[in-house]
Amino acid sequence: MSNRRRLGVMGGTFDPVHHGHLVAASEVQARFDLDEVIFVPTGEPWQKTSRVVSASEDRYLMTVIATASNPRFSVSRVDIDRDGPTYTVDTLTDLKAAHPDADLFFITGADALEQIVSWRRAADVFHLAHFIGVTRPGYELNGQHLPEGSVSLVEVPAMAISSTACRARTASGMPVWYLVPDGVVQYISKRGLYSVPD
């Protein structure tokens, strides 16, 4: 058995972080025997130009609140402290430099995995980490077009929750209790986030 640390990397906009993210990370942590899962909120997301994304500091703090009670979860600032849009290749390169003794496992939902595979420089990222694609309600998870051996597909308990739905519910006065952690409900309210539709 190798004694290298096994680090999960869960990238996302986390606007806001919700229980779908947390269940997916927890399931992969257990199934892959990961020492830690690092949540990495994105900087200015380049794929989401159609709406204004919340300040990275708010998204970072909500992610800290949501993960604080789990001893195997932590949050990294690598993407929010880097200027410009976030590319997964940069995220993984920075984390590899910070944890040279670790093997990285990049955790991603079926929707995001599909996009990654379509990138121009997709092949590069598969050298930096093993990829773990998790199921997500409404998205088909299949192994088509994936480089052989570099991606595992995992079924996680279905949680039909999205950040988009959480924002829409908040804007229309509907509760997000039990969709996001209690502290995140309170943080959204304290900062008045998502008071207007996307």
Residue 4 per-residue DSSP state: -
Task: Please give the Cα distance from 187 to 126 (Å, whole number).
Answer: 36
Count residues binding ligand ATP (CB under 6 A): 19
Q: State the pairing for strand pair 102-109/73-75.
A: unpaired
Nearer to ligand ATP, 137 or 147 (CB): 137
* Residues 96-125, mask of contacts with ligand ATP (x by CB under 6 A): ------------xx-xx-------------
Task: Please give the Cα distance from 108 to 25 (Å, whole number).
Answer: 9
One residue of 14, 39, 73, 106 binding ligand ATP per CB under 6 A: 14
Which residue is at the shortest CB distance from ligand ATP?
109
Q: Which span sits near ligand ATP by CB under 6 A: 6-14, 32-40, 73-81, 94-102?
A: 6-14
**Residue 61 identity:** L
In sequence order, which residues have a C-beta less than 8 Å from that of residue 87 and are 6 or more positions away? none
One residue of 7, 15, 60, 125 binding ligand ATP per CB under 6 A: 15
Burial pattern 18-30, b for ≥16 Cβ within 10 A else e, equals: bbbbbbbbbbbbe
One residue of 89, 141, 153, 159 binding ligand ATP per CB under 6 A: 159
Lateral strand order in the sheet of 36-41: 73-75, 36-41, 5-12, 102-109, 130-134, 151-154
Q: Is 161 near ligand ATP (CB under 6 A)?
A: yes
Nearer to ligand ATP, 4 or 137 (CB): 137
Q: Is 9 near ligand ATP (CB under 6 A)?
A: no
In sequence order, which residues have a C-beta less than 8 Å from that of residue 144 and are 6 or more positions away? none
Q: Is 21 near ligand ATP (CB under 6 A)?
A: yes
Question: Torsion angle of alpha carbons 144, 91, 125, 103, nearest 10°?
Answer: -100
Q: Is 76 near ligand ATP (CB under 6 A)?
A: no
Q: Which span sits near ligand ATP by CB under 6 A: 11-19, 124-132, 146-154, 189-197?
A: 11-19
Note the residues at the interface with ligand ATP (CB under 6 A).
12-15, 20-21, 24, 108-109, 111-112, 134, 136, 156, 159, 161-164
